[in-house]
A and B are shown apart, each in its own frame.
Chain A
């Protein structure tokens, strides 16, 4: 299995630009998670999906952030417009969970996207 795939691995953009991060979960997994990691705040859960439906988006920082999961094999996290404080490593993770649950079983993380907003 290829594991969780994220693209791009690195993104450098200028403030105000739109940024789209992509994730392909492990085949057969029904839950997908987006995390953000910074030195100051550690690892934060932004949003998670179960069976392609957003279950909890309380961690999404503000309206500039949006996430979609159009099908079981693809998800995007979009930031528009981007700001320097959005600079972080963004991780996608997937797992196989009971309906509506998150964290009951182990999560498999992708390699992350390192975002730098200038």
Chain B
């Protein structure tokens, strides 16, 4: 399975601190995406990084991808209480037929930002 696995499962920090979450996967990918889910809500797309990219930024978010190590990290700088949510990485590779992409999600990291 190419399913990503986030690490840690839970992270608790103080407002203003940086939060780093990691994602590891097993097979080659086309791209890797990060999503956020607030409690009881749907997932919201944060950032997409393609296999030929190494780093992307979006506001306070920074994502890195190391395809040689099959890993990615999501950094949230200057965290806020509103960043409290679950964060998922989703890897996009090929299905068993090899012809179509398929998006598979990890179990997520629960981030709690304390005011």
A49 within 8 A of B: no
A109 within 8 A of B: yes
B48 within 8 A of A: yes
Q: Which residues of A contact B30 (CB under 8 A)?
A: 103-104
* CB contact between A101 and one of B41, B45, B96, B100 (< 8 Å): that residue: B100
Cα A58 to Cα B30 with chains together (Å): 20
B42 within 8 A of A: yes
> A31: shortest Cβ distance to chain B, in Å?
10
B45, A55: Cβ atoms under 8 Å? Answer: no
Tell me how many residue pairs across A and B have CB atoms closer than 8 Å.
Answer: 59
Counting contact residues on chain A (CB < 8 A from B), the size range is 20 to 34
Q: Which residues of A contact B102 (CB under 8 A)?
A: 45, 56, 102-103
Interface window among B15-23, B69-77, B87-95: B87-95
The residue on B at minimum CB distance from A110 is B42
B43 within 8 A of A: yes
A91 within 8 A of B: yes
Binding site for B on A (CB under 8 A): 4, 33, 42-43, 45, 55-56, 58, 91, 93, 100-112
What are 22 A-B contacts defined by CB distance under 8 Å? A4-B42, A33-B103, A42-B108, A43-B43, A45-B103, A56-B95, A56-B100, A91-B43, A101-B100, A102-B92, A102-B102, A102-B103, A103-B92, A103-B101, A103-B102, A104-B101, A107-B43, A108-B45, A109-B35, A109-B42, A111-B41, A112-B42
Binding site for A on B (CB under 8 A): 30-31, 33, 35, 41-45, 48, 88, 90, 92, 95-96, 99-108
